[in-house]
Amino acid sequence: MKTANCIIENMGAGDWEAVIEIYQEGIATGNATVETEAPPWERWNDNHRPDCRLVAKDRDIVVGWAALSPVSSRDAYSGVAEVSVYVAKKFQGQGAGQLLLNHLVSASESAGVWTLQSSIFVENEASIAIHAACGFRSVGTRERIGCLYGRWRDTLLMERRSNVIGA
């Protein structure tokens, strides 16, 4: 495996065009999300934590992104967040996804997040492997949790508990 030659930065407003393009690539695979189209900026922005949004760049090219979404608006779950990690198709398999996720774990702990969770289609072996390499454990399979294009899909629920926050 080739190693990613990337730097990780906080996502800026100028990154949105590349972020949405990479997201649309992921949607098109049918193995990344139950979403069928990328949302407009306003909805995406409203649904993701502003303190945990990252991009991986190779020179000035955004090759991937990662962000957190709150799982609940209730105070008791303020430190629990859902992970999103996407890498542009032509940069997959080079380590950018794992690099992004490792940095997202650090950013999440700096933001006071004690549990990260990810719901991954069981067929998405690469994403499962990246999450496992970054300290996530399998909680279990959620059978027929979502229907995409008339086909019921199973997801593997993975989580990572912080050793720093709430320990």
For 102-115, the pLDDT digits (tens) are 999 999 999 999 99
Would you tell me how many other CB atoms lie within 10 Å of the CB of residue 78? 14
Q: So what's the pLDDT on residue 1?
A: 41
Those residues with Cβ within 8 angstroms of residue 112's Cβ, 6 or more apart along the chain or in another chain: 78, 79, 165
With 80 as the cut, is the pLDDT of residue 21 above it? Answer: yes
CATH number of the structural domain spanning residue 101: 3.40.630.30
Domain count for the chain, please give it. Answer: 1
Residue 9 burial class via C-beta count within 10 angstroms: exposed 0-12, middle 13-18, buried 19 and up? middle
Is 92 contained in some domain?
yes
* pTM greater than 0.85: yes
Is 144 contained in some domain?
no
Q: So what's the pLDDT on residue 5?
A: 83
Is 161 contained in some domain?
no
Query: How many alpha carbons lie under 13 Å from residue 113 in its C-beta half-sphere?
Result: 26
What value does the mean pLDDT of the chain take?
94
Distance, in Å, from the CA atom of 97 to the CA atom of 76, rounded to the nearest integer, reads: 30
Distance, in Å, from the CA atom of 134 to the CA atom of 121, rounded to the nearest integer, reads: 18
